[in-house]
Amino acid sequence: TGVLLGAIVAVAFGSQPVRADDCVIVRATADARNQTVSTERSKRRLQHYIGRKLNSFTAKSISTVTTHCIRNACESSAIVCRH
């Protein structure tokens, strides 16, 4: 059986001088038996975290989700901004 490890981190991302939005970079990781499963799990965890933990962002925009993998460990990330 594969070992499943996950962590979600929200890192403060300073407001850009051009925009008045408050933004955070959100990351979710997964480590499974193969890269396909890890990718799916990290994306699902990221969406879950954005939906449940950032619900105080009444109007929010989410950047394109990017996923990077090293062997079977994958990390998905996105920038979420409050308007």
- Chain-centroid distance of CA 3 in Å reads 20
Helix (H, G, I), strand (E, B) or coil at 60: strand
Q: What single string gives the DSSP state of each residue in 12-50?
A: EEPPPTT---EEEEEEEEEE-SSHHHHHHHHHHHHHHHH
pTM higher than the cut 0.75: no
Q: What is the pLDDT of residues 16-71, one digit of tens each?
A: 333 446 888 899 999 999 999 999 999 999 999 888 877 766 667 888 999 999 99
